[in-house]
């Protein structure tokens, strides 16, 4: 592939690549095309003032390695080392491990992850949380049947991620503050069994 010459080309290429990689996927338990989520993650970053084309491209591509047949080497060749490194940092290392081990790994890793990874991960969690809140408002508690873990376990995970991200240098970033506020409102500690 020829080198991408500007921000528009990079973002356009990342969007096309992500749309093709996720072409046959839907959001969990819905008919919503999966690509809505990576685009939503990119839009969250823009909403929070981020304009870096590589960061925004990584947001579009953040689930391609974890959830499709795409490799880090492909991303490195097409989008560069920084984009691939951000995607790698946002990907769970072993999808065959238990939910609990994978989530504990993420919580621990995000505490000291590079700022780019923290930003994309926070935007990912914020977009997922906003979607979840909207779905619960529309469909009620049955929305939790889509997930292997219920509300309490999911709440524990979101609270733990928010705490990890708040422990680092980005704790005052508007994205981290927004994530914390939403997690606290949607998953009050009194509702969680952990």
Catalytic residues: 66-67
In SS3 terms, 46-113 reads as HHCCCCCHHHHHHHHHCCHHHHCCCCHHHHHHHHCHHHHHHHHHHCCCCCCCCHHHHHHHHHHHHHHC
What are the Cα distances from residue 108, in Å, to 86, 99, 113, 118, 157?
A: 17, 14, 9, 12, 11
Radius of gyration of the CA atoms of the chain, in A: 16
DSSP 8-state secondary structure symbol assigned to residue 148: S
Residue 136: burial class (beta carbons within 10 Å; 0-12, 13-18, 19+): middle
Beta-carbon contacts of 125 under 8 Å, excluding residues fewer than 6 positions away, are 158, 161, 162, 179
Beta bridge pairs of residue 26? 33
């Amino acid at each position: 592939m020829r080198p991408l010459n500007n921000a528009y080309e990079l973002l356009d290429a990342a969007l096309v690549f992500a749309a093709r990689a996720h072409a046959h996927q839907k959001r969990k338990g819905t008919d919503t095309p999966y690509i809505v989520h990576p685009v939503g993650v990119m839009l969250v970053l823009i909403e929070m003032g981020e304009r870096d084309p590589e960061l925004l491209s990584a947001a579009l591509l953040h689930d391609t390695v974890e959830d499709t047949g795409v490799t880090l080497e492909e991303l490195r060749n097409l989008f560069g080392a920084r984009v691939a490194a951000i995607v790698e940092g946002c990907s769970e290392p072993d999808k065959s491990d238990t939910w609990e081990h994978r989530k504990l790994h993420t919580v621990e890793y995000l505490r000291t992850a590079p700022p780019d990874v923290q930003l994309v991960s926070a935007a990912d969690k914020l977009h997922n949380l906003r979607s979840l809140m909207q779905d619960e408002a529309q469909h009620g508690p049955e929305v939790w049947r889509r997930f292997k873990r219920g509300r309490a376990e999911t709440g524990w995970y979101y609270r733990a991620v928010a705490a990890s991200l708040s422990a680092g240098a980005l704790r005052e970033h508007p994205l981290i503050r927004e994530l914390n506020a939403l997690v606290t409102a949607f998953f009050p500690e009194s509702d969680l069994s952990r």
